[in-house]
Structure 1
Amino acid sequence: MATAAYDEIADWYDEEFLASQLDDPIGVERVLRELLGTGDESCLEIGCGTGAKAGVVRGLGWRPVGVDLSRGMLGRARGRLPVALGDAGRLPVRGGSVAAVVAVMAHTDMPDYPAVLREVGRVLRPGGVFVHVGVHPCFCGGFADRSDADAVVVRPGYLDSHWTMDSWTDQGIRDKVGASHWALPSLLHGFLDAGLTLERFAEGGAPTPTVLGVRARA
């Protein structure tokens, strides 16, 4: 379902939605830089979409490589980084072979993110780094009304892991493709259950955080 939906909105996403994010309004790129740090090996981005963050990864010295389920999104990404069509829950990557993995604003598109985290643990070499940058589970979702940025209203539903197309705006992505939600404990337990060691955290967006970043190691 998510694949077909993203195929349908790939042009809008690349040409219009990304244009509205050029000044990094919610701190996605800042959090990615802060948690990933510099490197000089390959960095796998799961759910790479149109490859919009490849330049950030490359700017840190890494060699970005992407994987995504959507052919439409990958058609846009190919000019930005090497890509492969694949399922994040069954990565086409040899175990213990990758120095770094990132997932940027993608986990809500993955119905079984805990399984994806287990795949991350499988493909990372010992000591390899994984950086998750995603919508903040405490303040973003079908339960959160963000129409007033100074007074986000969190309604019942935060504690319930679920998929929804409810959104406070029709200018974003969730009203078009939906989103999966995990409360913060469920999300962090997914890292631990995958054998990843949590290292650092960061938030982006103000005055109420929109983004949560996590750095972990294999």
Structure 2
Amino acid sequence: MARTAAYDRIADWYEREFLGGPEAGSTAGNPLALGPLLAGLLGGGGGATCLEVGCGTGIHAAGLRELGWAPVGVDLSAGMLRHAHGRLPVVRADAGRLPVRDDSVPAVVTVMAHTDMPDYPAVLREVARVLRPGGVFVHVGVHPCFCGGFADRSDAEAVVVRPGYLDTARTTVSWSDQGLRDKVGAGHLPLAGLLNGFLDAGFTPERFAEHGAPTPVVMAVRARKAG
């Protein structure tokens, strides 16, 4: 997750305006619009623990509980966790060094957070470490092919992919019409780098999904740790 803790500076704006404004949940990249996608990939929990890495303000906790999971959150930003405290148990920690025992949780999710993590392949290895054998991991994130500094989304009906897709340098170019990325920047992994990160961490991908139209904004993966 971003070591600069950029979200500390915007946590109140994120909670009250980005998530709470009149258009909240109506745009495909807004986390509030992604509950059904997360639910469809994760499934029911039967009361088991689900660790959310990069939980932010904890907005998915209620949905996870409705699915039968007991959510626990990890995030680097103290400002975001200030809003999350009333929604789920949380701990402040780097996603690349999770304060969780090996093979200890049955499920992990991350939602619209991987572009805030400077070394996401390392995070995937950490997720694999803490998951129980046979455990499930659901990644819901920015679509690597159609969102980023290389993607001109000024016309939603005709997204133009310009040179730069293979450039993994962190950018401050906004892909969101809500202005979030203008404030915190974004990391980028091309599609092959993202999927190879799952394989290198030892995951077996089970399902893929895309969200947003006419050009997807989100790509999601359900993967499982070997039993």
- State the TM-score bracket (shorter-chain normalisation): over 0.9
TM-score by length of 1: 0.96
Q: Shift in Å at residue 130 of structure 1?
A: 0.2
User: Partners in 1 of 2:4 and 2:169 — Cα distance?
Assistant: 18
In structure 2, the residue corresponding to 1:7 is in which secondary structure? helix
User: Partners in 2 of 1:37 and 1:116 — Cα distance?
Assistant: 23
Query: Is 2:42 the counterpart of 1:36?
Result: yes
> Are the equivalent residues in 2 in contact too, given 1:101–1:131 (CA < 8 A)?
yes
* Aligned counterpart, 2:87: 80
> Are the equivalent residues in 1 in contact too, given 2:7–2:77 (CA < 8 A)?
yes
Query: Of 146, 149, 155, which residue of structure 1 is paired with 2:156?
Result: 149
Identity in percent: 70
User: Partners in 1 of 2:125 and 2:26 — Cα distance?
Assistant: 30
* Aligned counterpart, 1:210: 217
The 5 A counterparts of 1:1-218 are: 2-20=3-21, 22-26=24-28, 27-40=33-46, 41-168=48-175, 171-218=178-225
Q: Which amino acid aligns with 2:6?
A: A
User: Partners in 2 of 1:169 and 1:191 — Cα distance?
Assistant: 26
In structure 2, the residue corresponding to 1:8 is in which secondary structure? helix
The alignment's C-alpha RMSD in Å is: 1.4
TM-score by length of 2: 0.92
User: Partners in 1 of 2:85 and 2:174 — Cα distance?
Assistant: 30
Structure 2: gaps of 5 or more residues? none
Per the alignment, do residues 170 and 211 of structure 1 end up closer, same or farther by CA in structure 2, a change over 3 Å counting?
A: closer
Q: Once the two structures are superposed, what CA deviation does each residue of 1:64-101 show, in whole Å capped at 9, x if it has no partner?
A: 10000000000000011000010100000000000000
Aligned length: 218
Q: Shift in Å at residue 4 of structure 1?
A: 3.1
User: Partners in 2 of 1:102 and 1:3 — Cα distance?
Assistant: 23
Structure 1: gaps of 5 or more residues? none
> Are the equivalent residues in 2 in contact too, given 1:46–1:88 (CA < 8 A)?
yes
Q: Shift in Å at residue 169 of structure 1?
A: 5.3
User: Partners in 2 of 1:91 and 1:2 — Cα distance?
Assistant: 14
Per the alignment, do residues 177 and 9 of structure 1 end up closer, same or farther by CA in structure 2, a change over 3 Å counting?
A: same
Q: Once the two structures are superposed, what CA deviation does each residue of 1:105-132 show, in whole Å capped at 9, x if it has no partner?
A: 0000000000000000000000000000
